[in-house]
């Protein structure tokens, strides 16, 4: 029987590439996202709504009697320091980036405990380093890294592995949204900013969503059966500087 996988935020960027990778690996893949997609089994779900995630995950688990793979990918960026971060901005970011992951994992675990499984949280290089104007986003990604470590320890006895991938600057719709937002506020030229971002990377280019998806595909596979509780960096060498 095919492995049952759930990916949040699977309609764009890294999520979409991950859905495609898991489908290619023979998985039955559900994509929880508010944006429609023809890749995988789309389930309309606001991942920032804890109850909506719980209902979607429970429905999938009961339908198949198993959940084998979770990829917590849904999230958004926020460019602001602590003074410019309102409580509403903070709460909305954490509802999606962190609470969505919490609800996904919590309600999938009863089904995963039956046969074991693999969990990957899409964190960021910002789970390891600080960046300017990134107070709440950085904090949310560090939280995902913590979830990966604690979940790995709590559920190792059930043969459930949990890891976090920490991508650097990956060219995705989220990346372009962040750059566009910055250029709108600052008046900077997008082409120049993009070139500057590439120059910051030791490999002199941005990462691709498919590269992160391939890494995730490896982490949830049996080839990674002894990897758990880890933060896996895929950043073109940025954090090694």
Is residue 113 a part of any domain in this protein?
yes
**Spatial separation of the C-alpha atoms in residues 38 and 117, rounded to whole Å:** 25
Arithmetic mean of pLDDT, 54-76: 98
- Residue range of the domain that includes 58: 4-169+208-240
Position 185 scores a pLDDT of 85
Lowest mean pLDDT among 5-9, 83-87, 155-159, 192-196: 192-196
Task: Tell me the pTM.
Answer: 0.95
Is residue 201 a part of any domain in this protein?
no
Is residue 114 a part of any domain in this protein?
yes
Give the domain CATH number at 144. Answer: 3.40.50.720
Is residue 184 a part of any domain in this protein?
no
Q: Which residue has the tokens 């109850």?
A: 51
| Structural domains counted in the chain | 1
Is residue 9 a part of any domain in this protein?
yes
**Spatial separation of the C-alpha atoms in residues 101 and 225, rounded to whole Å:** 22
Arithmetic mean of pLDDT, 219-237: 98
Q: What is the pLDDT of residues 118-135, one digit of tens each?
A: 999 999 999 999 999 999
Measured distance between the N- and C-terminal CA atoms of the chain, rounded to whole angstroms: 45
**Which DSSP symbol is given to 83?**
T
Burial class, 82, CB count within 10 angstroms (exposed 0-12 / middle 13-18 / buried 19+)? exposed
Is residue 189 a part of any domain in this protein?
no
pLDDT tier at 177 (50, 70, 90 boundaries)?
confident
With a cut of 90, say whether residue 1 has pLDDT above it: no
Average pLDDT taken over every residue of the chain? 97
Q: What is the pLDDT of residues 85-129, one digit of tens each?
A: 999 999 999 999 999 999 999 999 999 999 999 999 999 999 999
Instruction: Single out the catalytic residue among 137, 155, 175, 238.
Output: 137
Is residue 194 a part of any domain in this protein?
no
Is residue 238 annotated as a catalytic residue, yes or no?
Answer: no
């Amino acid at each position: 029987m095919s492995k049952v996988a759930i990916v949040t935020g699977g309609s764009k960027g890294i999520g979409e590439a991950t859905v495609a990778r898991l489908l290619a690996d023979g998985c039955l893949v559900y994509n929880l996202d508010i944006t429609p997609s023809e890749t995988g089994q789309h389930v309309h779900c606001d991942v920032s709504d804890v109850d909506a995630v719980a209902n979607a995950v429970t429905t999938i688990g009961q339908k198949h009697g198993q959940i084998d793979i979770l990829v917590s990918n849904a999230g958004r960026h926020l460019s602001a320091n602590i003074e410019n971060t309102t409580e509403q901005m903070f709460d909305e970011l954490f509802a999606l980036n962190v609470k969505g992951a919490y609800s996904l994992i919590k309600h999938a675990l009863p089904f995963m405990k039956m046969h074991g499984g693999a969990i990957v949280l899409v964190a960021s290089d910002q789970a390891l380093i600080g960046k300017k104007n990134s107070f709440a986003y950085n904090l949310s990604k560090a939280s995902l890294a913590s979830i990966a470590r604690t979940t790995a320890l709590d559920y190792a006895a059930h043969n459930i592995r949990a890891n976090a991938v920490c991508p650097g600057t990956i060219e995705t719709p989220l990346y372009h949204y962040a750059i566009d937002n910055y250029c709108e506020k600052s008046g900077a030229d997008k082409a120049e900013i993009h070139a500057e971002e590439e120059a910051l990377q030791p490999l002199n280019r941005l990462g691709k969503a498919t590269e992160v998806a391939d890494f995730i595909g490896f982490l949830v596979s049996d080839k990674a059966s002894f990897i758990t509780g880890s933060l896996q960096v895929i950043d073109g060498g940025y954090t090694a500087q």
